[in-house]
Amino acid sequence: MPETLRHILASESPQSAITVRGWVRTKRESKSCAFLEVTDGSCFRGLQAVVDATLPSAALLSKVLTGASVEIVGDLIESPAAGQKWELQATELRLLGEADASYPLQKKGHTPEFLRTIAHLRPRTNLFSNVFRVRSRMAYAVHRFFQERGFFYVHTPIITSSDCEGAGELFRVTTLKQGSPEKPEEDFFGQPTYLTVSGQLQGETFACALGNIYTFGPTFRAENSNTARHAAEFWMIEPEMAFCDLFADMTMAEEQVKYLVDAMLTECPEELEFFNKFVDKELVNRLKQTLEKPFERISYTDAVDLLLKSGKSFEHPVVWGEGLQTEHERYIAEEHVKGPVTIYNYPKSIKPFYMRQNDDGKTVAAMDLLVPGIGEIIGGSQREERLDVLRAAMGHHGLSEEDYSWYVDLRRYGSVPHAGYGLGFERLLMFVTGVSNIRDVIPFARTPGHAAY
C-alpha cells in the first residue's frame, strides 16, 4: 500500500519520488505552474502539489478540476509557502477520474442542511470528513475501553420477537404481502418480529453467563419525533454487568464517558481544532471540564424539587411521576449543574418492566446521564433479579410470561444482581464534536420521511 497523506505529512525529512493519490480540492494556476490542493481522506490536511507548466503531463491540467481524482508522482520538499511544512514538486500528473463543473462541492460554505441532500458526497467536505474520522476512532475507543476491562463483545440479534423498552416504537419485520390478512403464523418466522430497539434483554442472558459483556450495534425506533437528537436507526453501546448495582453502574457510565472524552482530546487533535473553530467555540473547554470533576448525582425526586424551585417557566409543567422533558434535562445540566449529571431513582410508572423496584415501592433503580447541549446520552438501570417481583411487574405491564419465559428463567436459575446501560453512540458523537444535529454524525440518516440511499 502506498503511504497516505497522514503519514506523508508527518514526514521528518524531504523524500523523493513519492506517489500521492487523492481528490483535487482546489486548483490555482499561474503562467509557469499550477497549484493543486489534494486530499485523500486519511487526515484533515491536504498536500499542495506544484505542477510545472513545462511537464509533459501538465497538458492534463485543463481537465483536472475540483473533485477530480489524481495520482501525482513527485518530490516532497519543504514548502516556501506559509502554513504548510511540505509541498509536492510534481514530476508526473495522472488524471484518474474527471469531475466536471456540475460537481456540487465546487466551493466551501455549503450548509449542513444542503449537504444532507448529497449524503454520498458530503464525506468529502471538511466538516464531514472530520466527523466520520472521529466516528471511526470513537468506535475503536469504545471497544478498547471494554476490552481493557475484560468485557466480552456479544452480538445480540437485530431481528427480535421482544420489545425491550415496551414503548411501542417497533418496526415490523415481515415477508407477508401488503394487504394480505394478518396471519403471523404464516409469516417468515411464524410469529410477529421486529427490528430491535435494544440488545439489553439478550445481553442479560450473556452477562448471567460470562459476567461482564457489552453490545455495540444498530438499534431501531419508529419514534415519530423529528428532533435534532432522534434517529430511527442509531447505534447503541450496551454494557451489562453481573454482580453490579445501580451505583456501580453509574460509576461505570461516568468512567466510560470520561474515557471517550479523553480519547477525543488526545487522539483527534486536528479534528477537535476544526470543530472548536468552526462548530462550537466552547467545545474544548467543555470537554476538559468534563474530565475535571466527578459527575453530580441527583435523585429524580430532588430533580423535580429543584425544577419547581428554579423559578423558570417551562413549556411542560414539572410534575412528580412524569418524565423529565428535554427542557427540564437541559436546565439541570446546563444551568443548575453546568456539567454532566446523573439523575436516578425514577418513578416506576414511567419506566420499563425490567428495572429493579426500590424499597419505597414507588421508584425503580434507573439512571439517566444528562450532558449540557444534548440532555440524555445514557439510560440504564439495575435489573429486577427477584423472580416474584419481576413477575408482578410483567403482569402490571401486560407482558405474557410465556413470551418472556427465557428472560424469567434468568431469575429462576442462579439469579444475580445485575445492571447495565445504553449509551447512544450518535449522542456521544454530538457531545464530543459539538455538532448539534444527529443527522450530521451518522453516515446515512434515517428519520421520519427520510431513508434515502
Cβ at position 317, least distance to ligand 4AD in Å:
22
330 binds ligand 4AD (CB under 6 A): no
Mark the segment that binds Mg ion (CB under 5 A) among 38-46, 87-95, 276-284, 375-383: 375-383
442 binds ligand 4AD (CB under 6 A): no
Residue nearest to Mg ion (CB): 379
Q: With CB cut-offs between 5 and 8 Å by kind, which of ligand 4AD, Mg ion, none does residue 198 bind? A: ligand 4AD
- Quick check: 371 and 431 in contact, CB under 8 A? yes
431 binds ligand 4AD (CB under 6 A): no
Closer to ligand 4AD by Cβ: residue 116 or 221: 221
420 binds ligand 4AD (CB under 6 A): yes
Mark the segment that binds Mg ion (CB under 5 A) among 260-268, 271-279, 319-327, 376-384: 376-384
Cβ at position 368, least distance to Mg ion in Å:
6
Report the site for ligand 4AD in 380-399 (rule: CB under 6 A): 380-381
What count of other Cβ atoms lies within 10 Å of the Cβ of residue 115? 20
Residue 238's contacts (CB-CB under 8 Å, 6 or more residues apart) are: 198, 199, 200, 203, 214, 215, 216, 420, 421, 422, 423
* Residues written for the chain: 453
379 binds Mg ion (CB under 5 A): yes
Cβ at position 259, least distance to Mg ion in Å:
21
Report the site for ligand 4AD in 157-176 (rule: CB under 6 A): 164-165
Q: Which cell goes with 113?
A: 442542511
Mark the segment that binds ligand 4AD (CB under 6 A) among 85-93, 187-195, 335-343, 371-379: 371-379
- In single-letter form, the type of residue at position 205 comes to T
| Radius of gyration for the alpha carbons in the chain, expressed in angstroms and rounded | 26
421 binds ligand 4AD (CB under 6 A): yes
Binding map of ligand 4AD across residues 200-239, x = CB under 6 A, - = no contact = x--------------------x-x------xx--x-x-x-
Strand partners, 251: none
DSSP character string of 298-333: EEHHHHHHHHHTT----SSPP-TTSPPPHHHHHIII
Closer to ligand 4AD by Cβ: residue 25 or 229: 229
DSSP character string of 259-311: HHHHHHHHH-HHHHHHHHHHT-TTHHHHHHHHHHSPPEEEEHHHHHHHHHTT-
- Quick check: 121 and 127 in contact, CB under 8 A? no
Rounded to an integer, what distance in angstroms lies between the CA atom of residue 348 and that of residue 393? 10
Rounded to an integer, what distance in angstroms lies between the CA atom of residue 42 and that of residue 29? 26
Interface positions with ligand 4AD (CB under 6 A) = 164-165, 198, 200, 221, 223, 230-231, 234, 236, 238, 376-381, 420-422, 424, 426-427, 438
